[in-house]
Structure 1
Amino acid sequence: MAVSLREDRPGGSVDYFLALLQDRLPFWLSILHDLSHRVGKGCVADNLLPVARAGIEYYIDVQSAALPAFTSPDVTVRFREAVRDTGLGPRTETAPLAAYLAAEQELGRVGPDVDPEASARLLIAGCFHRAYIEMFIGRDAGPSLDASAEEIVRELRLEPVAA
């Protein structure tokens, strides 16, 4: 992927962004995949809190590097092609989270009316948004990282409704 996107000059913003992704993405994905070991254990919301915190931190790291890397439409198109070719699209993040939620749903620990795929996308979107606000407005522009993670997970409203 790095070769297909390199700018004419080594060390450019795309190289920096790709290096950051190579460093941070495996850890972020391991957190998402580790959820499979939490199925049926503890509280679903408590299992998701560290995921939301890590997601916010991940997006704070990578968004700041992404902006300068995509100042050229040509670079953006090449990046999209590389993502498509390597299979590292959005489903890379949402699939393990949705699988966890679906498994918890089968155990009755997530409500039957919850859409695991949509909920996974919403959790990721909440993390991304919180990171975006911090990057552009500042750390003090909203709730703390922990409070944001709690809000994101709580507002997914995953718990089954008591009859």
Structure 2
Amino acid sequence: MAVSLREDRPGGSVDYFLALLQDRLPLWLSILHDLSHRIGKGSVSDNLLPIARAGIEYYIDVQSAALPAFTSPNVTVRFRQAVRETGLGPRAETAPLAAYLAAEQRLGRVRPEVDPEASARLMVAGCFHRAYIEMFVGADAGPAREVSAREIVRELRLEPVPEPV
């Protein structure tokens, strides 16, 4: 398998990475889509915290397989084609999160100046970054996963600030 992960051939790095995505991505997407059942319930931050936790876990799972998939321009082009053909691109991840934020915004539970799409991308990026740091530098290189998840959600600053009394 080590040889196939370094080569651009059937059963190689792109196929391995796509197989891993096809295994892990449905669960990750179902977690994101389940947010639609939380609209108007609990607090927005409390609803997003399990998403941040799951995002960090998901990216830790898939990043190690992603690296060998980008060993040459030919492999990268092949991967991009496969992503387009399967619809497994980044929009599949951010769309349900952005839809949740937009729905909460319509209810007044997310600040009106928040851009749901940009916030969704930032949340996913924060999860990806946390996983990346852990994979390359080690779990002790930054805050614990739980602390990181809380920081990601908190720093999006989505919820309206209460009026002073």
Instruction: Check whether TM > 0.5.
Output: yes
How many residue pairs end up in the alignment? 157
Q: Which letter maps to 1:46?
A: D
Q: CA deviation at 1:9?
A: 4.8
- Alpha-carbon distance, 1:72 to partner: 1.6
The aligned residue for residue 8 of structure 1 is 9
In structure 2, the CA distance between the partners of 1:24 and 1:68, relative to structure 1 (3 Å rule), is same
1:89-128 to 2 correspondences below 5 Å: 89-128=89-128
Alpha-carbon deviation of 1:108? 0.7
Equivalent residue, structure 1, for 2:154: 154
Q: How does 1:12-161 map to 2 (within 5 A)?
A: 12-161=12-161
SS at match of 2:22: helix
Amino acid of the structure 2 residue aligned with 1:101: L
Change (3 A) 1:116 1:9: closer
Inter-partner Cα distance in structure 2 for 1:122 and 1:24: 21
Deviations along 1:116-163, one digit per CA (max 9) or x if unpaired, are: 000000000000000000010000000011000000000000011234
Deviation at 1:78, TM superposition (A): 1.2
How far, CA to CA, are the matches of 1:31 and 1:8 in structure 2? 33
Q: Structure 1 length as normaliser, TM-score?
A: 0.92
1:79-114, CA deviations, whole angstroms, 9 ceiling, x for partnerless residues?
A: 112212332221100000000000001111111111
User: Is the Cα contact below 8 Å between 2:14 and 2:78 reproduced in 1?
Assistant: no
In 2 relative to 1, CA 79–40 (structure 1 residues): closer, same or farther, beyond 3 Å?
same
SS at match of 2:66: helix
Instruction: Determine the C-alpha separation between the residues in 2 that align with 1:80 and 1:68.
Output: 14
Q: Helix, strand or coil for the counterpart of 2:42? A: coil
Go from structure 1 to structure 2 and tell me whether the alpha carbon gap of 1:82 and 1:15 turns closer, same or farther (over 3 Å shift).
closer
Deviations along 1:8-46, one digit per CA (max 9) or x if unpaired, are: 353x22222122111100000000000000000011100
Question: Equivalents in 2 of 1:119, 1:21: separation in Å?
Answer: 23
SS of residue paired to 2:17: helix
Q: Which runs of 5 or more structure 1 residues have no equivalent in the other structure?
A: 1-5
Identity of aligned residues (%): 82
